[in-house]
Chains A and B, each alone.
Chain A
Amino acid sequence: MNKLLIILAAGLFLAGHAMAQDPVKIGMITTLSTKAGYLGEDIRDGFRLAMEMENGHLGGIPVELLVEDDEAKPGKGIQISERFIKSDRVTILTGVVFSNVAVAVVPRAIREDVTFLSANAAPSNLAGKDCHPNYFSVSYQNDNPDEVVGRYVTAVGHKSVYLLAPNYPAGRDHLAGFKRYYEGEITRELYTKLDQSDYAAEIADIRAANPEAVFFFLPGGMGINFLKQYAQSGLSEVIPVYGPAFSFDERILQAVGPAALGVKNGSHWTHDLDNEANIEFVAAYQKAYGRMPTLYASQGYDTARLIGSALKAVEGDMSDRDRFRAALRKADFASTRGTFAFGSNQHPVNDWYIREVVQAEDGSYTNRTLKKIFTDHVDAYAAECSM
């Protein structure tokens, strides 16, 4: 009798299991090694947090997340994406941190009818002439974080600005973004070696050129080096610096220390944005990982939540991609940014802020939202997209 019960129970269990859906596979190609490894770590952790909050589901649909490290190399990114698509049969890709990797990976992936949702990199061509129904940026368009600073620096009344960026395509793009909205005089536009560590020569040149402000785009360790050396030279008390959010995330700031205090930077997200989704996210992230989330973490989290909203709308059925894409385009989720919508080129239309680096009560360094600069900002390339 007991035996019969067990068999019956097992039968019921199996039947129940067969009825449950196979999880939807999501491939995350991101940068976990190299100096920039913490960027991918935060995107991944933000994404995972959204899954854990739903017990491995997104929008009520079971999902499986595959994560691979691209080492910030385009070739490696292509290899991983081909494996994800061909052998793992993923239908959704996300995660890429760097624009040069995105430019290599995205065109191949979207041709295979895989939907790519960028959680960070958003180069101009993918927002403009190469836009595609299968490509969404959940983060921003690369120029946005500089445009907002350009507008702010103009409003503050700085009549001349010294520009500094590494000599590579993204460096030029970011300075172009700043110049699009800055109306004063450009004292000098200086491009330095990529991965340069000593900025003494440049800082002496800034002192000699005597501009009213400095705008720099120096991601990762380069920004840490520059900010520390700039503060040590004593110039930070005379000529203020500005930059996009990339050199001022909560993990870099702990390495820069007091040298960054008071610096104003442009971003679409800060942990103090007052909306319900953000408050819930920041608290859950700190509880899960024991550190303050960065903008990268918020982008990973938003990407997961957006996917969840679309999976829910199509009830986990990925066979009709048009339906899934239409559901994504609605962006029917509560973003940590408060407002979030997709523009015609499937890039975010949201508000942009200026924030200031401050010291928190516990002694750590963080950002405080200062002022909203753009409301529902549309990127400059949307007009070139013929979708």
Chain B
Amino acid sequence: MLLVIEQVLNGLQLGITLFLMSAGLTLVFGIMRVINLAHGSFYMIGAYVGATVTSASGSFLLGILAALGAAGLAGILVECIVLRHLYDREHLTQVLATFGLILFFNELTRMIWGRQPLFMDVPPWLAGSIEILPGLTYPSYRIAVIAVGMLVALLLWFLLARTRLGMRIRAGASNREMIAALGVNIKILYTLVFGLGTLLAGLAGVMAGPILAVESGMGESILILTFVVIVIGGIGSIRGAVIGALLVGMVDTLGRAFLPALFRLFLPGAHADGAAASLAAISIYMLMAAILLWRPRGLFPA
């Protein structure tokens, strides 16, 4: 039973990381109608800058701030220099351009930081484990990740639903021309939204830094999962991103954790492990297919 609770926490934590990534991506896609394959690059920028600043200054919080700044700024620059010219083009052009950006950013990190992966450690004040239940300890850092993710979800909801800026963003999503005609500077609005999205990706990156390898190309491994999340959740919907991310995190983790034991009930050992490994690897895609059959536009279409 304790194992089940621990695995559910693991799934929750993976889901929260995915949410931080997909929130930005779904905002950008839903509001600006731009497919941004380079979203993973901002995740990588967050991790690299966070790792560098943390090791130079010795302060994890400073690292987070620097990572947020760098990822947000990089996003704003990319929007002004590249994406702004692509809004009226078809999706294929956007895919090609942002794919080019992936290559560009991967090579750039290699030029600046070299080919060797960087080191980033859990800050000392989050290094231990907490006993949540008698007999069940869980790393404090992962609990912190869960808490930060939930906080961000709340803040995003507040920003979009309760503030004037959020109202404009939602208006811009429904009718671009109308809100421009009403005198809102849609250009700046788009730049801000894109910067917000990349800032969230940077936050996901720097939070993942102590757990994962900080290396060139690290964004691509999470990018695919992120796209699965926003397709499941409904493109453009923050609520969809929350639910989609949690679903994907849970199904992926619980599949990896319990499918082998399940298969061993009715298959011999080696076969069971092989079949379970294969099924666990495709479980989230099966989930996506099932949800799309049931609701072709995702769980919460925007």
Main secondary structure of the interface of A (DSSP, over half): helix
The reply to whether A221 and B213 form a contact with Cβ atoms under 8 Å apart is yes
Q: How many B residues touch the partner, as a band? A: 35 or more
The reply to whether A38 and B10 form a contact with Cβ atoms under 8 Å apart is no
Q: Which residue of B115, B129, B257 has the most chain A CB atoms within 10 A of its CB atom?
A: B115
Q: Per a CB cutoff under 8 Å, which of A192, A205, A207 touches B277?
A: A192
The reply to whether A34 and B217 form a contact with Cβ atoms under 8 Å apart is yes
In the complex, which residue of chain A has the Cβ closest to the Cβ of B129? A234
| Known contacts A251-B116, A258-B121: A200-B142 contact under CB 8 Å | yes
Which residues of chain B in 142-172 are interfacial with respect to chain A, using CB atoms and an 8 Å cutoff?
Answer: 142
| B125 nearest CB across to chain A (Å) | 14
Contacts of B216 in A (CB 8 A): 35, 37
Contacts of A115 in B (CB 8 A): none
In the complex, which residue of chain B has the Cβ closest to the Cβ of A34? B217
**Interface residue A197 (Cβ < 8 Å from any Cβ of B):** yes
The reply to whether A205 and B116 form a contact with Cβ atoms under 8 Å apart is no
The reply to whether B10 and A35 form a contact with Cβ atoms under 8 Å apart is no
The reply to whether B13 and A200 form a contact with Cβ atoms under 8 Å apart is yes
The reply to whether B274 and A224 form a contact with Cβ atoms under 8 Å apart is no
| Known contacts A192-B277, A200-B253: A255-B10 contact under CB 8 Å | no
Contacts of B14 in A (CB 8 A): 198, 200
Which residues of chain B in 1-41 are interfacial with respect to chain A, using CB atoms and an 8 Å cutoff?
Answer: 3, 6-7, 10-11, 13-14
Contacts of A212 in B (CB 8 A): none
**Interface residue B101 (Cβ < 8 Å from any Cβ of A):** no
| B137 nearest CB across to chain A (Å) | 7
Q: Give A229 to B121 CA distance when docked, in angstroms.
A: 11
Which residues of chain B in 225-284 are interfacial with respect to chain A, using CB atoms and an 8 Å cutoff?
Answer: 253-254, 256-257, 260, 270, 273-274, 277-278, 280-281
Contacts of A221 in B (CB 8 A): 117, 212-213, 215, 218
The reply to whether A37 and B277 form a contact with Cβ atoms under 8 Å apart is no
**Interface residue B299 (Cβ < 8 Å from any Cβ of A):** no
Q: Flag A197-228 by CB within 8 Å of B: 1 or 0 each.
A: 11011101101100000000000111011001
| Known contacts A191-B273, A225-B213: A256-B119 contact under CB 8 Å | yes
A-B contact pairs, 19 of them (CB 8 A): A38-B115, A167-B281, A190-B277, A197-B218, A201-B256, A201-B257, A204-B257, A205-B260, A207-B3, A208-B3, A221-B215, A228-B213, A232-B141, A232-B210, A232-B211, A252-B117, A254-B116, A255-B117, A255-B213
> Knowing that A192-B277, A198-B212, A251-B116 are A-B contacts, what are 7 other residue pairs whose CB atoms are under 8 Å apart, sorted by A's residue number?
A32-B115, A37-B110, A197-B212, A204-B257, A225-B211, A255-B215, A258-B121
